[in-house]
């Protein structure tokens, strides 16, 4: 394994199961997973959220992933390339990966370097539908032989572990996706719903925004795994119902993202059907502020794009006032208890990457009112502010979820107190995080003023995570609304620092750059950290072998799961 950071200590906990002797392949029947945010595709390259990348990780695999400690480890690769082992060039301009020999796709055909090269071409194609930043700075990807692939970068790249690393950047089969390049990517329904993979399971039935059935992959590289013959993954409902199904009724074996009030979870756990596991990684509940105009009066090709700055939130004083009006400690206490911590940090862990700024934690209603006065927004007779005949009114959108909807109501009350009129909207998570370019309610289209949801970094490299907010990563019509820069934040100094980070190898220097990037983001108020969230998962008492991992796919070691006796 390759350790990218040496500090994974204070405030970061990982809960492990001790794994006894493993069962034989396909002898443990079915494992039932409840993912209340139902997947809309099984192709993570067309998704902006973990609701799709997580179930897809049962099928599609990268060359390397991150383990429970945030360390890189090989998956389809023989090892993790480094300068020391000769896999990374001394000039840091290329990395060479070597596939494990005799790998097979689930259809029995061999996995070769051509599939790896195709995956890169798929994501780097003109008019691409690929929604990840893994291939930023890549000049070319070439096959050296059937098992070796060389990735060449524009310049020295000390941390070349973006392409083909983590559940966000898996290998796809060249044969299956041959006709899915560029603009055709999102129209390949069969490939996107039923990708052929190398993972422990194979998809047998997929219903978008509903359910996925899978069976054990007969060609999986470990002849003794997986123990489960089938996986039934059901979507829909809400976090409360998901927790109840594992902890009280025992209908399901596993449910993640249990965003529920802590006292409710504690009461459910008394049902003795399952346990709650908690791990802190980098997951933060954010407010995302739109910096572009979402008005429906604009032409569709210009709405929520850089052509039209937001008429209200482009003024930094307004966004800062909205932040000052928040009491993050109160939100954390109400929504998460011991499972969350109020934060001002974009990246709260490991400690060497956290800014540690606590300046946003104190609520300041008078200060918020003063800033709005300075910005020219005056109180009207109805108690809401006006400027140039326009009311200070914002739409706050989030997913349908008890905790988030409670947060909405509380935030609305605080913002009303400083004179801001707020309209609340709640959208089903499967729709909100969906990948349908024609859907007006996706979080990436951002047809609202403010959005609330959680984000986290995959792994501890953070290069890809901070690169999510460069100017060119903004979703827009010519990317079919795929992209990671949801608020449309654009700062040339920020982009320059991301470029500098790509060229920096020293861990302490990287940490300092990342903290500068975090500060630029939070001081722009394009994103507002609220709560550092623990990864809360419900697991049946009879499900063993599971290892919590806040750095990669939650289902990263599903091949090791089995039924305890």
Give the contacts of 503 (CB within 8 A, at least 6 positions apart): 155, 156, 157, 158
Buried b (16+ CB within 10 A) or exposed e, 215-249: bbbeebbeeebbbbbbbbbbbbbbbbebbbbbbbe
Residue 5 has pLDDT above 60, yes or no: no
Residue 404 has pLDDT above 90, yes or no: yes
Instruction: Note the pLDDT of residue 390.
Output: 94
Instruction: Note the pLDDT of residue 22.
Output: 46
Give per-residue pLDDT as tens, 256-304: 989 888 888 889 988 889 999 999 999 999 999 999 999 999 999 999 9
Instruction: Note the pLDDT of residue 12.
Output: 31
| Count of the separate structural domains present in the chain | 1
Average pLDDT over residues 317-322: 98
Instruction: Note the pLDDT of residue 19.
Output: 40
- Read off the CATH number of the domain in which 315 is found: 3.10.105.10
Give the contacts of 298 (CB within 8 A, at least 6 positions apart): 308
Q: What is the band of 132 on the pLDDT scale with cuts at 50, 70, 90? A: low
CA dist., res. 137 & res. 153, Å (int): 6
Dmax over CA atoms of the chain, in Å, equals 75
Instruction: Note the pLDDT of residue 401.
Output: 86
CA dist., res. 444 & res. 397, Å (int): 12
Q: What is the band of 24 on the pLDDT scale with cuts at 50, 70, 90? A: low
- Choose among 405, 415, 394: nearest CA to 285: 405
CA dist., res. 426 & res. 440, Å (int): 14
- Token pair, residue 477, equals 């019509």
Give domain status of residue 416, yes or no. Answer: yes
Instruction: Note the pLDDT of residue 8.
Output: 27
Give domain status of residue 352, yes or no. Answer: yes
Residue 15 has pLDDT above 60, yes or no: no
Average pLDDT over residues 234-255: 93
What does pLDDT average to over the chain? 91
Residue 28, Cβ density class (10 Å: 0-12 exposed, 13-18 middle, ≥19 buried): buried
- Give the position of tokens 């606590």: 358
Give domain status of residue 425, yes or no. Answer: yes
Q: What is the band of 439 on the pLDDT scale with cuts at 50, 70, 90? A: confident
Give domain status of residue 292, yes or no. Answer: yes
Question: Which range, 264-273, 389-398, 495-504, is most confident?
Answer: 389-398
Give per-residue pLDDT as tens, 443-469: 999 999 999 999 988 788 898 899 999
Sheet-wide strand order for 385-387: 378-379, 385-387, 390-391
**Packing angle of the helix pair 328-335, 402-417 (nearest 10 deg):** 150
Residue 126: how many CB atoms within 10 A of its CB? 7
CA dist., res. 407 & res. 148, Å (int): 50
Give domain status of residue 450, yes or no. Answer: yes
Average pLDDT over residues 119-124: 93
Give domain status of residue 252, yes or no. Answer: no
Give domain status of residue 63, yes or no. Answer: no
Instruction: Note the pLDDT of residue 20.
Output: 40
**DSSP string for 159-188:** ----TTBSTTS----HHHHTT--GGGGGG-
Residue 366 has pLDDT above 70, yes or no: yes
Instruction: Note the pLDDT of residue 433.
Output: 87
Q: What is the band of 434 on the pLDDT scale with cuts at 50, 70, 90? A: confident
Average pLDDT over residues 167-174: 96
- Give the position of tokens 């954390």: 332
**DSSP string for 72-98:** EEESSBSS---TTTTSB-TTSSEEEEE
Instruction: Note the pLDDT of residue 1.
Output: 42
CA dist., res. 442 & res. 429, Å (int): 9
Give per-residue pLDDT as tens, 217-231: 999 999 999 999 999
Instruction: Note the pLDDT of residue 70.
Output: 87
Range of the domain at 337: 282-458+522-534
Residue 234 has pLDDT above 80, yes or no: yes
Average pLDDT over residues 486-495: 97
Average pLDDT over residues 68-82: 95
Give domain status of residue 323, yes or no. Answer: yes
């Amino acid at each position: 394994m390759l350790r990218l950071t040496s500090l994974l200590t204070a405030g970061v906990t990982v809960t492990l199961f001790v794994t006894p002797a493993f069962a034989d392949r396909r002898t443990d029947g079915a494992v039932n997973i409840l993912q209340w945010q139902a997947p809309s595709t099984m192709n993570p390259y067309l998704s902006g959220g973990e609701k799709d990348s997580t179930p897809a990780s049962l099928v599609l695999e990268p060359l390397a992933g991150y383990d429970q400690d945030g360390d890189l480890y090989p998956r389809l690769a023989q090892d993790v390339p480094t300068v020391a082992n000769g896999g990374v060039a001394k000039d840091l301009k290329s990395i060479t990966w070597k596939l494990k020999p005799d790998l097979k796709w689930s259809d029995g055909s061999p996995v070769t370097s051509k599939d790896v090269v195709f995956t890169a071409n798929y994501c780097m194609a003109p008019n691409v539908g690929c929604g990840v930043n893994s291939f930023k700075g890549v000049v070319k990807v070439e096959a050296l032989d059937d098992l070796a692939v060389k990735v060449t970068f524009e310049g020295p790249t000390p941390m070349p572990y973006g392409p083909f690393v983590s559940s966000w950047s898996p290998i796809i089969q060249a044969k299956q996706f041959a006709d899915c390049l560029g603009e055709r990517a999102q129209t390949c329904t069969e490939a996107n719903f039923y990708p052929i993979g190398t993972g422990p399971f194979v998809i047998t039935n997929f219903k978008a925004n509903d359910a996925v059935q899978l069976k054990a992959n007969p060609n999986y590289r470990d002849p003794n795994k997986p123990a489960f013959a089938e996986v039934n993954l059901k979507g829909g409902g809400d976090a409360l119902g998901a927790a109840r199904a594992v902890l009280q009724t025992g209908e399901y074996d596993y449910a993640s993202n249990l965003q529920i009030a802590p006292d409710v979870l504690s009461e459910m756990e008394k049902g003795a059907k399952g346990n709650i596991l908690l791990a802190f990684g980098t997951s933060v509940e954010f407010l995302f502020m739109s910096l572009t105009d979402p008005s429906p009066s604009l032409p569709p090709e210009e709405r929520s794009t850089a052509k039209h700055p937001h008429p209200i939130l482009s003024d930094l004083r307004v966004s800062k006032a909205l932040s000052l009006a928040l009491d993050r400690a109160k939100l954390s206490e109400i929504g998460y208890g011991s499972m969350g911590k109020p934060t001002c940090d974009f990246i709260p862990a490991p400690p060497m990457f956290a800014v540690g700024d606590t300046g946003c934690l104190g609520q300041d209603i008078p200060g918020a009112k003063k800033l709005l006065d300075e910005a020219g927004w005056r109180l009207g007779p109805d108690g809401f502010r006006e400027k140039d005949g326009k009311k200070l009114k914002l739409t706050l959108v989030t997913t349908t979820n008890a905790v988030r909807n409670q947060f909405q109501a509380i935030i609305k009350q605080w913002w009303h107190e400083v004179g801001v009129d707020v309209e609340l909207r709640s959208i089903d998570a499967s729709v909100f995080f969906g990948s349908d370019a024609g859907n007006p309610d996706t979080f990436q289209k951002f047809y609202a003023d403010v959005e609330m949801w959680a984000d986290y970094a995959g792994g501890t490299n953070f290069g890809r995570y901070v690169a999510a907010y460069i100017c060119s990563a903004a979703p827009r019509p010519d990317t079919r609304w795929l992209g990671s820069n949801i608020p449309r934040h654009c700062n040339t100094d920020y982009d320059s620092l991301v470029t500098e980070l790509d060229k920096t190898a020293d861990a302490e220097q990287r940490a300092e750059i990342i903290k500068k990037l975090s500060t630029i983001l939070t001081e722009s108020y394009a994103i507002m950290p609220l709560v550092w969230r623990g990864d809360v998962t419900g697991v049946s008492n009879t499900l063993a072998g599971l290892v919590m991992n806040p750095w990669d796919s939650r289902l990263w070691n599903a091949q090791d799961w089995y039924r305890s006796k």
